[in-house]
Chains A and B, each alone.
Chain A
Amino acid sequence: MGEALPVDAVALRDEVRAKYRDVAVNPHGGFHFHTGRSLARRLGYEVAVVARMPESAIEAFAGVGNPFSLGALNPGERVVDLGSGGGFDCFVAAEQVGPNGRVVGVDMTEEMLDRSRTAAAVMGLRNVEFRQGVIEELPIDDGSADVVIRNGVINLCADKRRVFAEVMRVLKPGGRLQFADIANGKEIPARALRNIDLWTD
Chain B
Amino acid sequence: MLEQSGFIDVRVGPPADTFGGAGGESKARLFEVFGYAFLARKPK
Contacts and interface: CB of A to CB of B under 8 A. Distances in A.
Q: Do A and B bind each other?
A: yes
Interface of A: 30-34, 42-44, 63-71, 152, 160-161, 164-165, 167-168, 171-188, 201
Interface in B22-44: 22-24, 27, 30-44
B42 to A, nearest CB: 4
A84 to B, nearest CB: 17
A66 B16 contact: yes
A164 B2 contact: yes
Contact of B1 (A160, A173, A178): A160
Contact of A171 (B2, B37, B42): B42
Contacts, number: 121
Given A33-B22, A178-B39, A179-B38, A184 B33 contact: yes
Contacts of B19: 32-34
Given A32-B27, A180-B35, 6 more contacts: A65-B16, A66-B13, A70-B13, A161-B4, A164-B7, A181-B35
Contact of A64 (B2, B5, B11, B18): B18
A178 B21 CA distance: 26
Interface of B: 1-2, 4-7, 11, 13, 16-24, 27, 30-44
A63 B5 CA distance: 24
Given A65-B35, A182-B18, A174 B41 contact: yes
A168 B11 CA distance: 17
A71 B37 CA distance: 10
A31 B23 contact: yes
A173 B42 contact: yes
A168 B8 CA distance: 11
Contact of A174 (B1, B34, B43): B43
Contacts of B32: 184-186
A92 B9 CA distance: 24
A131 B6 CA distance: 27
B8 to A, nearest CB: 10
B2 to A, nearest CB: 7
A34 to B, nearest CB: 5
Given A31-B23, A165-B5, A186 B31 contact: yes
